[in-house]
Amino acid sequence: MIFPLRTSRWTRFLTSTTGPFEAEVTDEAVHVRMGWVGHADIPIARIARISTQKWPWYAGVGVRIAKGLVAFVPAPCEGVVLELDGPLEVHAPAGWETSRVLVGAADPAAFAEAVAARRAATA
């Protein structure tokens, strides 16, 4: 299943990329893509917990490295936080290790539900 990330009319200007802005949930992994500025391939088996967090406008947009997490947010939004069982390397745009990834899906409830369903199926 492919979930578009939330965008605004300023997204392409502020992130300097044309996309794609999406998160794909497969049986094996969650693949997050934000054009050339960053991506993450998160194995479903590594996801320990799913929660939500508001990403405010003043925190910036794009692939953001924040204290304790990497956020894929083309626009301010309610994001889904995927907490991992340990560090994983993501590209932001260079390699960066994190144990928490925030995904700014346009439909955070549906995205979180899809990830939770895949987690349950692999458990």
Domain ranges of the chain: 2-122
Task: Tell me the pTM.
Answer: 0.91
Residues 75-119 pLDDT 10s = 999 999 999 999 999 998 888 999 999 999 999 999 999 999 999
Q: How high is the pLDDT of residue 61?
A: 87
Residue in this structure with the two tokens 């960066």, named with its chain if needed: 96
4, 27, 36, 90 from 53: Cα distances, Å? 18, 25, 25, 19
